[in-house]
Amino acid sequence: MASVSRSHASSLATSFVLLVAACSGETAVPLSAVGTPKIDQVEPVLGVPDRGDEPGVVAIDVAGVALCSGALLASDVVLTARHCVTISVAPQCPATGAQVVGLRPADSLRILVGDGATIAEERALARGILVPPGDEICGADIALLMLDRPIDDIQPLVVRATGAAQGDHVRTVSFFGAEKLLRDHVPVLDTTPTELRVAEGPCQGGGGPALDESTGEVVGVVSRAGPDASNVYTRVDRFLSLIARALEESASASARRTYAKKRKRGPADMGANCSQGADCAAGACVTSGVREYCSRRCSAHDRCPARFRCGRCDVSQEGPALWACVEN
């Protein structure tokens, strides 16, 4: 059989690829024409409307004058921020004196379920409030609401017994205005023995959870705005005895099994269409050829999910290149 030159073989292979693409009705795009992907990154992460990903995050109407967020830990137990349920003075941190005057009436706290505050349905009122001892909110901005009736059609969230560390990534969910916003792959910037700080956009009211991005376990409760467009969360692992007390007092038969319930989480919108970073839960929109899709930052110690690899991307504005998850 006659031999074929290497250059001729390459030409035949290219012709075959083009023929297959033509027969399939698709237009072949040479890899060299795609070039280095570009990324539009929004920092801090602003978030996108939650479309049913986190039903266990509820809204709390505080006496009709404020709106907070909370996490359902049992059908009749909601985790939230202490400042949402107390009458407080001088809430700045560090504290310079007593910050708590007293508790709000429990029945002035309405629990709303839904993906937006304006369309959410009232499902329960608080019948009791558990808070840490002392009169300071800083470092102890956490509370448990005992509900007057169960919300038993939503799977409760789970509290993690160990704290998040600097460099970890979390998912945060909270109500902002009329919408429930979800932020994915939010970096933990630093921690203290009682708090952690994350790089996310502003939250309203407080009380929303920070969730382990793999398991969905609650690691923090948003307390207040921090420096450099960050938010400060109270660490829930420092208040496990208070949480256990609330679950013990719950009328829900499933409450004592809450710690054992975990479910694997995945990115909210990786690969979804976008036109800018603000369209995406992790604040990153990648352009590769004619394709624009939501992505997230990555590194050697921050691996990409299935179907994606960590690749170098040029930024869409002035600035150094970034590494992000690109489609295989």
pLDDT in tens, 266-314: 789 999 999 999 999 999 999 999 999 999 999 998 999 989 999 999 9
The answer to whether 194 and 186 have CB atoms below 8 angstroms apart is: no
Q: What is the CA radius of gyration of the chain?
A: 24
CA distance 173 to 68: 11
Domains plus CATH for the chain?
A: 34-46+268-327 (no CATH), 54-260 (2.40.10.10)
Q: How far is CA 308 from CA 25, 245, 316, 321, in A?
A: 26, 43, 20, 18
pLDDT over 60 at 133, yes or no: yes
CA distance 104 to 126: 10
pLDDT in tens, 61-117: 999 989 999 999 999 999 999 999 999 876 678 888 888 889 999 999 999 999 887
pLDDT in tens, 182-218: 999 999 999 999 999 999 987 778 999 999 998 999 9
Model confidence at 23, pLDDT cuts 50, 70, 90, reads very low
5 vs 264: which has the higher pLDDT:
264
CA distance 168 to 188: 5
pLDDT in tens, 245-265: 999 999 875 554 444 455 556
59's tokens: 């809204």
Q: How many CB atoms lie within 10 A of CB 218?
A: 24
CA distance 105 to 111: 14
